[in-house]
């Protein structure tokens, strides 16, 4: 950035400052002892100067918004042209109850929807399965059949509303249901917009809502990518998740590297199916996690864009500039929310949201202040939406693209985060890729060690959490918490049992038999090949086979996954 003479002069001046002005201050009062002055991934210096970005070339490494390597944003005008999408995460109880919450959020100015599914749905069980007892409708909406999906979007036109679905192991089934609902509404496939997470690899290391072993799970994910490339051209068939990796305790660098390692595995699997890179890469989307270190988080999104552009253009030879663009949704850090003094979470989410916007993302949801205690109330959802609207319309940070660019600290952080992520990514490549790293337990161990180091810093008081290990209050006011209707589970079970009695069981048996045959078709040892399973899944959905029935057929074919006993 600066020429050689300037850098030499700055180096001399910095040395003088350190030996005089800084030394006097340190001798007099020192630095605070209640912090280790570190981000999640790097040690922070007391001062940043042009020396810290001496190797940065503006044209090569930073550039301009809307141009490779997209460090400064994927659009030339960024938020001057279009704001990010406000997309709060919601879902609970029955499809009818969640439909009402969706309509409330749309009425508050939210343009898109984000569906939270209950635990049985995420694990491929019907609400009446013994494994679902006590969990149906608790942490998300229960979806057992196409009929539930029809109810969920009743009165919500799928040609005008974009929907994000946080679902992984059974993602193919839920997308099939969504597409069929669109068909029943008269919406052509090429008008259906939305995103499905479909990132099952991170389930083995972060969340645990897997069903099958990694290799057949990767096969299903790639089948869905290939199907959407052909049939749902405006639907994002995978939203690769760093969010859950970070919430499990990883550092920012690990979040970046492990997520990109998973992405490479999905892309390779899709390419194995003969899908052209530029036919699906522009529809890859992401979800990442913004936590409390404000400048590290803003720098992280700049580094992610630059890394992804390099991966797509240099590794995969993608020709379409849209394939080089890293477009991400962000959810603020659920793991940073505190049950103590929960109203402070409003401030945390606002700061995290501001850092996210300064990082230049495309879609954002704020964790609601009461989420450490219960599902969000309508009031807390409204506050989260209004907080985003204040950032958008009152803060002024949307007036210029990438306003933090040129900061010595931010540019240095961007470089350091990218460097650390490449080192991890190369290590995983040497192991044979993400699946091998998961199967060996390597990624799990790295996350566990990072999580333990963070918790130790909190316990020792080096990391201050306001209201938890400092600035506590003796008595806290009782919060008004949202409670799921206790009758919702039984209502869902009764509805499902009644619905099963009126189905065409012959058609269901035939569709499920066809699916089972597809699961076993021409599968090679890699687990990546074989018949694309989306068509038999769609056929099963259309005759109202249940989620549990469809997943049961695949469980029989692929088996259930058991994690390593020691990692």
166/146 Cα distance (integer angstroms): 17
Placement of tokens 């699916």 in the chain: 515
CA quadruple 173, 176, 181, 184: dihedral sign? negative
Please say whether the dihedral angle defined by the alpha carbons of residues 196, 190, 102 and 180, taken in this order, is positive or negative: negative
**What does the alpha-carbon distance between residue 215 and residue 286 come to, in Å, rounded to a whole number?**
21
pTM above 0.85, yes or no: yes
Considering the chain, what is the average pLDDT of its residues? Answer: 94
Q: What percent of the chain has pLDDT over 70?
A: 98
How many other C-beta atoms lie within 10 A of the C-beta of residue 151?
A: 19
- The pLDDT, as a whole number, for residue 526 is 42
- What is the pLDDT at residue 522? 58
CA 65, 69, 70, 76 torsion-angle sign: positive
pLDDT at 528: 44
Pair 367, 410: CB distance under 8 Å: no
The DSSP H or E segment spanning 416 is: helix 408-431
The pLDDT tens digits of the residues spanning 42-94 come to 889 999 999 999 999 999 999 999 999 999 999 999 999 999 999 888 899 99
Distance CA 156, CA 158 (A): 6
The 3-class secondary structure across 299-345, one letter per residue, is HHHHHHHHHHHHHHHHHCCCCCHHHHCCCEEEEECHHHCCCCCCCHH
Residue 288 pLDDT level (bands cut at 50, 70, 90): very high
Cα 330 to the chain's mean position, in Å?
7
Instruction: Please state the three-class secondary structure of 525-549 as a single string.
Output: CCCCCCCCCHHHHHHHHHCCCCHHH
Termini Cα distance of the chain: 45
Distance CA 526, CA 367 (A): 39
107 alpha carbon, distance to own chain's centre: 25
Please state the separation of Cα 179 from the chain's center in Å: 22
CA–CA dist 237, 227 (Å, integer) = 9
Q: Which CATH superfamily is domain 58-459 in?
A: Methylmalonyl-CoA mutase (3.20.20.240)
Residue 474's pLDDT band (cuts 50, 70, 90): confident
Taking 50 as the threshold, does the pLDDT of residue 524 lie above it? no
β-partners of residue 241 are 287
143-202 per-position pLDDT tens digit: 999 999 999 999 999 999 999 999 999 999 999 999 999 999 999 999 999 999 999 999
Q: What are phi and psi of 240, to 5 degrees?
A: -75, 135
- Region of 438 (left: φ > 0; alpha: ψ -120 to 50; beta: rest) is alpha
- Identify whether 514 is preceded by a cis peptide bond (ω within 30 of 0): no
**C-alpha–C-alpha distance, residues 354 and 84, integer Å:** 12
Q: What is the pLDDT of residue 555?
A: 97
With beta carbons less than 8 A apart as the criterion, state whether 372 and 389 touch: no
Residues 118, 119, 124, 126, CA torsion sign: negative
Quote the radius of gyration of the chain (alpha carbons, Å).
24
Q: Which of 41-45, 88-92, 97-101, 477-481 has the lowest mean pLDDT?
A: 477-481
> Looking at residues 537-545, what average pLDDT do you find?
98
| Region 26-45 average pLDDT | 88
DSSP track, 223-249? HHHHHHHHH-TTEE-EEEESHHHHHTT
The answer to whether the CB of 54 falls within 8 A of the CB of 9 is no
Planar angle of CA 425, 264, 413, nearest 5 degrees: 40
* Cα–Cα nearest to 104, from 493, 482, 398, 479: 482
Only one residue has tokens 């899709």, namely 270
Angstrom distance (rounded) from CA 415 to CA 53:
8
Q: What is the pLDDT of residues 410-463, one digit of tens each?
A: 999 999 999 999 999 999 999 999 999 999 999 999 999 999 999 999 999 989
Both tokens assigned to 310: 């390099």
Q: Band of the pLDDT at 567, cuts 50, 70, 90?
A: very low
Q: Beta strands of 121-274 (E only): which ranges?
A: 163-166, 194-196, 235-236, 238-241
329 closest CA partner among 119, 114, 28, 93: 114
Q: CB-based burial of residue 206 (10 Å sphere; 0-12 exposed, 13-18 middle, 19+ buried)? A: buried
């Amino acid at each position: 950035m600066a020429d050689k003479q300037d850098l030499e002069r700055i180096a001399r001046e910095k040395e003088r400052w350190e030996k005089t002005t800084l030394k006097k201050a340190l001798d007099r009062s020192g630095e605070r002892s209640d912090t280790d002055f570190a981000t999640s991934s790097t040690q922070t210096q007391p001062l940043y100067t042009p020396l810290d970005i001496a190797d940065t070339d503006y044209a090569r490494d930073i550039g301009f918004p809307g141009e490779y390597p997209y460090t400064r944003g994927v659009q030339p005008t960024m938020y001057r042209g279009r704001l990010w999408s406000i997309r709060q995460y919601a879902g609970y109880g029955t499809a009818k109850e969640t439909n009402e919450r969706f309509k409330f959020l749309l009425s508050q100015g939210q343009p898109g929807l984000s569906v939270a599914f209950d635990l049985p749905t995420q694990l491929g069980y019907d609400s009446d399965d013994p494994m679902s007892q006590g969990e149906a409708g608790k942490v998300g909406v229960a979806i057992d059949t196409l009929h539930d999906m029809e109810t969920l979007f009743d009165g919500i036109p799928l040609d005008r509303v974009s929907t994000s679905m946080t679902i992984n192991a059974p993602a193919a089934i839920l997308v099939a249901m969504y597409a069929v609902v669109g068909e029943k509404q008269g919406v052509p496939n090429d008008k259906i917009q939305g995103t499905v997470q479909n990132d099952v690899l991170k389930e083995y290391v972060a969340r645990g809502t897997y069903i099958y072993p990694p290799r057949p799970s990767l096969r299903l994910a790639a089948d869905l990518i290939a199907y959407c490339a052909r049939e749902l051209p405006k639907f994002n068939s995978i939203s690769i998740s760093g969010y859950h990796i970070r919430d499990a305790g990883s550092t920012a660098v690990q979040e970046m590297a492990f997520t990109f390692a998973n992405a490479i595995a999905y892309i390779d699997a899709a390419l194995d199916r003969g899908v052209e890179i530029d036919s699906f890469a522009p529809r890859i989307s992401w979800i990442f996690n913004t936590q409390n270190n404000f400048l590290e988080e803003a720098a992280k999104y700049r580094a992610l864009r630059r890394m992804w552009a390099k991966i797509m253009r240099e590794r995969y030879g993608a020709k379409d500039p849209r394939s080089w663009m890293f477009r991400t949704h962000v959810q603020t850090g659920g793991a940073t929310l505190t049950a103590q003094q929960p109203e402070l979470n409003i401030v945390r989410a606002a700061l995290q949201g501001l850092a996210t916007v300064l990082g230049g993302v495309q879609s954002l949801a704020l964790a609601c202040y009461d989420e450490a205690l219960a599902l969000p109330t309508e009031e807390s959802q409204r506050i989260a939406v209004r907080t985003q609207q204040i950032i958008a319309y009152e803060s002024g940070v949307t007036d210029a693209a990438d306003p933090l660019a040129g900061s010595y600290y931010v540019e240095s952080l961007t470089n350091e985060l990218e460097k650390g992520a490449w080192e991890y990514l190369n290590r995983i490549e040497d192991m044979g890729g993400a699946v091998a790293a998961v199967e060996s337990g390597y990624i799990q161990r790295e996350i566990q060690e990072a999580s333990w180091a963070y918790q130790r810093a909190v316990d020792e008081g080096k990391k201050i959490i306001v209201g938890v290990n400092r600035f506590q209050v003796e008595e806290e006011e009782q919060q008004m918490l949202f409670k799921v209707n206790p009758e919702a589970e039984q209502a869902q079970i009764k509805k499902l049992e009644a619905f099963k009695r009126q189905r065409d069981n012959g058609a269901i048996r035939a569709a499920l038999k066809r699916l089972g045959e597809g699961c076993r078709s021409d599968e090679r040892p890699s687990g990546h090949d074989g018949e694309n399973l989306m068509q038999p899944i769609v056929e099963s959905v259309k005759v109202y086979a249940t989620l549990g029935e469809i997943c049961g057929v695949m469980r029989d074919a692929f088996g259930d996954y058991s994690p390593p006993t020691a990692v």
